[in-house]
A and B are shown apart, each in its own frame.
Chain A
């Protein structure tokens, strides 16, 4: 095991705690955490706005990172994540369809439809990705980009027809500005999905060795793939419905952690989740500060930060080869 490990763990844990406190303290309204204990208005603000937003960022970050990790395992390729392989676009297609057909549908209904659409889209991607020759590792991400692009184009086309383009824009741009008590609680299902991922982690690790080896080791490969798919779909759909799409988290976080910790999934999983939370929370805080008191969507911030991290991973790769 690399010896940088404890240091990295401490760094991630400490920054998550630090960012958590920082996030509670930063907002348009004046609030010091100490005053919350004595001032009921401050406590109210903390409970209604700050805490939900902070928790939402943590949950979404953990979920996206785990979904990216699971997808990378199932596809056996390090360069895919749900936002680039059609999962998020499929979820958006589902929300769009339900908005047009049943405008009065509740958020829960929308989530169910979005999750079903995401599941269908991801299954289609996976089915086709498995037919690609494993000797060409860049074919899968490339195919994913095209597949995601096609589904995304369908979303744009339909939205255009129904004058919903800017409305779709609101979903697709990941943003926490609308998060309040009562408007994010569904994201706790993401936490459940993360726990579930941890529970089946060993089986996923075996599945990452491919169909033949895992079947030889006595694993019901098909079942594990299905479970993984359902999990990715649920996490992506919840993310899209509640806050919108957030790029790069699922791509860079599993890569960063695997470079530090290797591919023992059960050991790495909590750190993937924590690193994802740290990244999203940090970027949301940045988005709140840069143009204070206005907001920059976290999706935009992550587009910049994530691209930088991804390039760093690509260029540093050979050092640790």
Chain B
């Protein structure tokens, strides 16, 4: 027994010599964090992180039971299921024994719990500089996994997608971002969680001063009618979480919204809900969102 342990220690020491310890320091939402070695097994509780990791060819060993984004569900069906987005299954996580746990956004509150099982980094993104943070996170993953080149390439693609959307949006009018939740609606302005669309694409908001509260502002249909946007960017929250309840179209199809320029010109964009809402800031998901915006604006005269 003693001999075995000694052997194991020696093997570990050898392994450390064999793979030179490259301790990298990366910036996380909770400040800079040092990662001693390249993680072999990573458990991820954040859709944007899973999405971004995929863009540099890293597949997590453990993911939440429900991934909401169809592309991610398909790509990660073999990964171990380690709880849900809001509630990590620490037993399962312990059994997986990952070298690194990534949390972010909805799961960031559980960082302390998962840190007791394995080293944890919080990669939350928020605010209206979502794209800047997305690239920062991407670069950090590149460092951690020794994939800096892949990360740079992915960042380049993201930049190109932003630029293409920015060009398409230019001079096509003002937009209003709303979220439908069943029969009710909330509006989001610059500075809100969806404000990056206005900021990154120079898309002029139809209502200048919507306050930047996380869950948007409850508004009436009269609000939309008065704002009279040229473009209506719609997120259907029910669709984002996979419920097929009353759709955004049914909610918006009423006499007041029908009077807006956006509705009359057919300029209502239904954003890919899971990509925009749940995996917000993921490198691939953000490109899918941008491409929907670009195509819709490109069609307009």
Contact between chains at A29 and B184 (CB < 8 Å):
no
Name A44-73 residues within 8 Å CB distance of B: 44-45, 48-49
Give complex CA distance A181, B187 in Å: 21
A44 in contact with B255 (CB, 8 Å): yes
Majority SS at the chain B contact face: mixed
Bound: A49/B256 CA distance, A: 8
State whether the Cβ of B244 lies closer than 8 Å to any Cβ in chain A: yes
Q: Is B219 an interface residue (CB 8 A)?
A: yes
A103 touches B255 (CB 8 A): no
A216 at the interface (CB under 8 A from B): no
For A289-302 the 0/1 string (1 means CB < 8 A from B) is 00101111100000
Q: Does B145 contact A (CB under 8 A)?
A: no
**Which positions 230-265 of chain B face chain A at CB distance < 8 Å?**
237-238, 241-245, 251, 254-256
Q: Which one, B66, B219, B225, B254, contacts A294 given CB within 8 A? A: B219
Q: Nearest Cβ distance between residue A219 and chain B, in whole angstroms? A: 42
Q: Is residue A220 within 8 Å, beta carbon to beta carbon, of the partner chain?
A: no
Contact B245 A103 (CB under 8 A): yes
Within 8 A of A (CB), among B204-236: 211, 217-223, 225-226
How many residues of chain B get a CB closer than 8 Å to chain A's CBs?
28
Are A175 and B218 also in contact (CB < 8 A) when A103-B244, A163-B243 are?
Answer: yes
Of all chain A residues, the one with the shortest Cβ separation from B253 is A182
Cβ-defined contact, A183 with B183, below 8 A = yes
Question: In the complex, what residue of chain A is closest to B258 when comparing beta carbons?
Answer: A48
- Bound CA span A238–B111, Å: 42
CA of A182 to CA of B257 in the docked complex: distance in angstroms? 14
The distance from the CB of B106 to the nearest CB of chain A, in whole angstroms, is 11
Tell me if A171 counts as interface (CB < 8 A to partner B): yes
Contacts of A29 in B (CB 8 A): 222, 225-226
User: What distance in Å separates the Cβ of A155 from its nearest Cβ neighbour in chain B?
Assistant: 15
Who on chain A is nearest to B210 by CB? A294
Which residues from chain A contact B222 at a C-beta distance below 8 Å? 27-29, 45, 49
| Docked pose: A27 CA to B219 CA in angstroms | 11
> Is A22 part of the contact surface with B, judged by Cβ < 8 Å?
no
Task: State in angstroms the CA–CA spacing of A167 and B256 once bound together.
Answer: 24
Selected contact of A103 from candidates B183, B185, B211, B243, CB within 8 Å: B243
Contact B219 A170 (CB under 8 A): no
Which residues from chain B contact A181 at a C-beta distance below 8 Å? 255
Chain A proximity of B202: nearest CB distance (Å): 25
Which of chain A's residues has its CB closest to B217's CB? A294
Neighbour of B220 across the interface among A28, A44, A170, CB < 8 A: A28
Q: Is B182 an interface residue (CB 8 A)?
A: yes
Q: Is the CB of B218 within 8 A of A296?
A: yes
Are A167 and B182 in contact, with the CB atoms below 8 A?
yes
Query: Which B residue's beta carbon lies closest to that of A287?
Result: B218
Chain B residues, Cβ within 8 Å of A170:
181-184
Q: Is the CB of A163 within 8 A of B242?
A: yes
- B residues in contact with A48, CB < 8 Å: 254-256
- Kindly provide the distance from the CB of B183 to the nearest chain A CB, expressed in whole angstroms: 4
Complex: A162 Cα to B68 Cα, angstroms: 12
Contacts of B226 in A (CB 8 A): 28-30, 293
Which A residues lie within 8 Å of B256 (CB)? Answer: 45, 48-49, 180
B189 to chain A, nearest CB (A): 11
Contacts of A163 in B (CB 8 A): 66, 241-243
Interface residues of A in 262-299 (CB under 8 A from B): 288, 291, 293-297
Residues of A within 8 A of B211 (CB): 294
For A27, the chain B residues whose CB sits under 8 A away are: 220, 222
> Which chain A positions have C-beta within 8 A of B182?
167, 170-171
Interface string of A152-184 (1 = CB under 8 A from B): 000000000011101100110001011011110
Closest 6 CB pairs of A and B: A294-B217, A28-B222, A178-B183, A295-B218, A177-B220, A29-B226
14 further A-B contacts with Cβ under 8 Å, apart from A171-B182, A177-B221, are A28-B223, A29-B225, A29-B226, A44-B255, A45-B225, A99-B245, A103-B243, A164-B241, A167-B245, A178-B185, A178-B251, A293-B219, A295-B218, A295-B219
Residues of B within 8 A of A (CB): 66, 181-185, 187, 211, 217-223, 225-226, 237-238, 241-245, 251, 254-256
Q: List 10 A-B contacts (CB under 8 A).
A: A28-B219, A28-B220, A45-B256, A103-B243, A167-B241, A177-B218, A177-B219, A180-B255, A294-B211, A294-B223
